[in-house]
Amino acid sequence: MCTVVIEVPADESTPTRVLAVRDEDPSRPWDPPGEWWPESHPGTLGVRDRRANGAWLAFAPAAGRLSVVVNRAAEMAEPAGGFTSRGTLVLESVAGGELADPPTSAPFSLVEVVGSRATVSSWDGIALRREELSPGVHMLAHHDVDDPRSERIARWLPEFQALAGAPEAEWRAQWLGLLARTTEVGTTDDRAIVRDNRPLGYPTLSLLSCVADVGSDSVDLEWAPFETPGSWGTPEFKAA
């Protein structure tokens, strides 16, 4: 039940802005943003899932590409051979690869940013759909883009949209300030972005957040883990 907020610029010379919060089982081992795939994906950095050796979020600075995957609220029968890892989709996306249709993974939404353009590919177990995002601020959780069925989107998207076009020197502080304020509703509230999903029957909590500018030939990403999973606390953001 991760969350992604993205501002797509109207001007192609302006970077795309991304805020992503990762929800995962704290007992599942992971590594912070780094170049973990030097042989298979040289020049790609990302948040690695050690178990499957895939990525939740990955980026290629020289290519101006960033991708992040969000689990989707859709049920489908697991094939006899099991699902493939959604983390491989992220790595292949950053390398410029195309999604197989139909995918062999469990349902997902894949956000792909290339410079000033962004698309979301959604697989619900029935059909694979691809949507190019229009200029402006968008939000994605476990349904569709800007979908009010996700209560956190209904509650917080208008406030993120009110921050559209913030000066370059100020946008990260403004977005992270709003993210901090979202925690006032409590981590088990359906409107929460920094979350504790255990009351819903999932073992996942919010573990870290990333903010990034994605330009045509650069990605400037900062990240911070939550000292206590599912709790905002006082995260210290640092460059990847």
For 163-216, write each residue's pLDDT tens digit: 999 999 999 999 999 999 999 999 999 999 999 999 988 999 999 999 999 999
Give dist(CA 48, CA 30) in Å, integer. Answer: 5
Number of H helices, E strands in the chain: 3, 13
Q: What is the Cα–Cα distance from 40 to 42, expressed in whole angstroms?
A: 6
Question: Which two tokens mark 11?
Answer: 């001007």
Residues in the chain: 240
**Contact call for residues 42 and 179 (beta carbons, < 8 A):** no
Residues linked to residue 222 through DSSP beta bridges, in sequence order: 211, 239
Distance CA 149, CA 111 (A): 19
What are the residue ranges in the chain where pLDDT is below 50? none
C-alpha 178/C-alpha 170 separation (Å) is 12
Q: Which of 172, 179, 190, 158 is nearest to 1 (CA)?
A: 190
pLDDT at 79: 81
**Token pair 């995962």: residue:** 24
Alpha-carbon span 37 to 2, nearest angstrom: 23
pLDDT confidence of residue 61: 97
Please, what sign has the CA dihedral across residues 227, 57, 7, 133? Answer: negative
Where do we find the tokens 């790609």? 44
What is the residue type of 216?
S
Nearest to 138 by CA among 130, 146, 147: 146
Which has the closest alpha carbon to 105: 136, 87, 84?
A: 84
d(CA 124, CA 102): 10
Alpha carbon distance 198, 125 (integer Å): 24
Do the Cβ atoms of 23 and 205 come closer than 8 Å?
Answer: yes
Domains of the chain by start residue, with CATH: 3-239 (3.60.60.10)
3-state secondary structure (DSSP) of residue 3: strand
For residue 213, list its beta bridge partners: 17, 220
Residue with tokens 């792909």: 112
